[in-house]
A = this chain, B = another copy of it.
Amino acid sequence: MSQSRILGDWGTTRLRLWLIQNGSVVDSRAGPGIGHLGGTPREALEAAIAPWIADNPAARIVLCGMVGARNGLHEVPYVACPLDAVRWRGGAADLVVDGLPVRIAAGAAWRHEDARVDVMRGEETQIFGAMRLDPPLARGRNIVLLPGTHSKWVTLDAGCLTEIRTFLTGEVFALLQGSSLLAAGPERHAGAASDGFSSGLARGRDTNGLLGALFETRTAQLCDGKGADWAHEFLSGLLLGSELTEVDRSGHLPIEVTIIGGGDLARRYARALSARNVKARLLDGDACARAGLDLLDVDG
Contacts and interface: CB of A to CB of B under 8 A. Distances in A.
Contacts of A255: none
Nearest to A208: B249
B166 A215 contact: yes
Contacts of A250: 208, 212
B212 A211 contact: no
A12 B180 contact: yes
A194 B83 CA distance: 36
Interface string A149-191: 1100000000000000111110110011011110000000000
A153 to B, nearest CB: 9
Contacts of A245: 209
Interface stretch (A46-54, A112-120, A137-145): A112-120
Contact of A119 (B119, B175, B222): B222
15 contacts: A12-B180, A78-B223, A118-B219, A119-B223, A150-B215, A166-B212, A167-B215, A172-B175, A172-B211, A175-B175, A175-B179, A208-B246, A209-B210, A210-B246, A211-B243
A272 interface: no
Interface in A208-254: 208-212, 214-216, 219-220, 222-224, 239, 242-243, 245-247, 249-250
Contact of A118 (B116, B208, B215): B215
Interface string A85-118: 0000000000000000000000001000000111
Interface of A: 12, 35, 70, 78, 109, 116-119, 149-150, 165-169, 171-172, 175-176, 178-181, 208-212, 214-216, 219-220, 222-224, 239, 242-243, 245-247, 249-250
Nearest to A78: B223
A165 B212 contact: yes
Contacts of A119: 219, 222-223
A245 B207 CA distance: 12
B211 A210 contact: yes
A75 to B, nearest CB: 11
| Residue with the greatest number of chain B CB neighbours at <10 A, chosen from A149, A245, A246 | A246
A219 B116 contact: yes
Given A175-B178, A210-B209, A211-B169, A109 B223 contact: yes
Contact of A239 (B168, B169, B211): B211
A118 B249 CA distance: 26
A149 B35 CA distance: 29
Given A12-B180, A119-B222, 15 more contacts: A35-B180, A119-B223, A150-B215, A165-B212, A168-B181, A175-B175, A175-B178, A175-B179, A208-B246, A208-B250, A209-B210, A210-B210, A211-B239, A212-B243, A212-B246
Nearest to A167: B211
Given A116-B219, A223-B119, A242 B211 contact: yes
Contacts of A165: 212
